Amino acid sequence: MQTLFRGKHLITLQEWTREEIDTILDTSRHLKLMFANNQPHRWLQDKTAFMMFFEQSTRTRNSLEAGITQLGGHAHDLTPDKMQLSHGESAKDTAMVLSRFGHGIAIRNCFYGIGNKYLREVAQWASIPVINLQDDLYHPLQALADLMTMQEKFGNLKGLNVTISWAYATSHAKPLSVPLSQILLFPRYGMNVTVAAPKEFPLLPELVETARQNAQTGDGKLNFVDNMDDGFRGAHVVIPKNWGGFAYTEDKGEMAANLARYKSWICDEQRMKLADPKVIYMHALPADRGNEVTDPVIDGPHSVVYDEAENRLHTVKGVMALTMGGRP
């Protein structure tokens, strides 16, 4: 078990070893049991986490703020309009000042081509851990919660058939970060991952290649299909979710036109019947009901979305406990 975590940044799980990820999950499970038993666990007494949100958030914001409170610390809820970011303050100055004030900086910035670069610049200058709350390329906390949920439902994940499918949505063009984080992480645990998506909604080729290498070293598989039904056949886990066509075109008009061609890409009861009888349905939420998924599926017996959402709390607590308070 790895124990040297204090001050370690979490930008992407790709930069963490399997042993480190397992330690995070072990810690998260321990904290979940303490939470269930109403046992105090003030491991970060009087520690401060700065939350910088460039976009709206429900699960990420509240899981982190509730988590640091339960660990005995406090979160500052920051948005650009509350900071000098709105007047052009540099990432360096923000990082160095907040490092003098507290114990962790957590950032969500999903603007395509900007978010990950901004997080890495903050991390370059910060002397306290920087935690990625989602950027344009990675969402490590969601991938951790997904992994924890699948381990709870299936135990050993080797050989598990997991389908990550594009789905139609009208709410907004969602970032690539969730599916990219999933294809990078899941094959490291021996899972057989299938990505189903139209050709106009690909994932980034350079990260797909990294995911293929992860599959080789992790004894997993990574496969791509362009038909949603084909992706669902025999799946033990289905994760149908929209993502934008940023890797195909950055023209918003063209992306919208491409989106309109695939309204039939919805997770419904008929598609669920193509999967394994004990299949589970997962989604990072918020789901675009009636577009990405039908109510009978997301509210049905195969859905584990609220278990998955709860694990966002326990996994972020595990990350904070180790990076903000663990061994140096």
pLDDT digits (tens, 9 = 90+) for 143-158: 999 999 999 999 999 9
Report DSSP letters for 43-68, one per residue. Answer: TTTT-EEEEEESS--SHHHHHHHHHH
Is the predicted pLDDT of residue 87 greater than 80, yes or no? no
| Amino acid 55: pLDDT | 86
Instruction: Assign domain 142-308 to its CATH superfamily.
Output: Aspartate/ornithine carbamoyltransferase (3.40.50.1370)
CA dihedral 296, 299, 303, 306 (to 10 degrees): 160
Is the predicted pLDDT of residue 86 greater than 80, yes or no? no
Q: Lowest-pLDDT range, 9-13, 86-90, 281-285, 303-307?
A: 86-90
Q: Please give the structure tokens belonging to residue 73.
A: 């610390």
* 8-state DSSP, 208: H
Q: What is the pLDDT of residues 158-188, one digit of tens each?
A: 999 999 999 999 977 799 999 999 999 999 9
| Amino acid 239: pLDDT | 98
Contact 283, 64 (CB under 8 A): no
Please state the pTM of the whole predicted model.
0.96
Q: What is the pLDDT of residues 122-140, one digit of tens each?
A: 999 999 999 999 999 999 9
Contact 44, 73 (CB under 8 A): yes
Which secondary structure element, helix H or strand E, spans residue 150, and what is its range?
helix 140-154
Domain with CATH 3.40.50.1370 in the chain: 13-139+309-325, 142-308
- Give the Cα separation of 240 and 238 in Å (integer): 6
- pLDDT-derived band of residue 75, with 50, 70 and 90 as boundaries? very high
| Amino acid 194: pLDDT | 98
Which residues lie closer than 8 Å to 19 by C-beta, 6 or more apart?
Answer: 1, 2
| Amino acid 122: pLDDT | 98
| Amino acid 88: pLDDT | 79
- pLDDT-derived band of residue 240, with 50, 70 and 90 as boundaries? very high
Mean of the per-residue pLDDT values of the chain: 95
Sign (positive or negative) of CA dihedral 258, 263, 264, 267: positive
- pLDDT-derived band of residue 83, with 50, 70 and 90 as boundaries? confident
- Across the range 57-65, mean pLDDT stands at 93
| Amino acid 35: pLDDT | 98
CATH of range 13-139+309-325; options 2.60.40.1530, 3.30.565.10, 1.20.120.1730, 3.40.50.1370: 3.40.50.1370
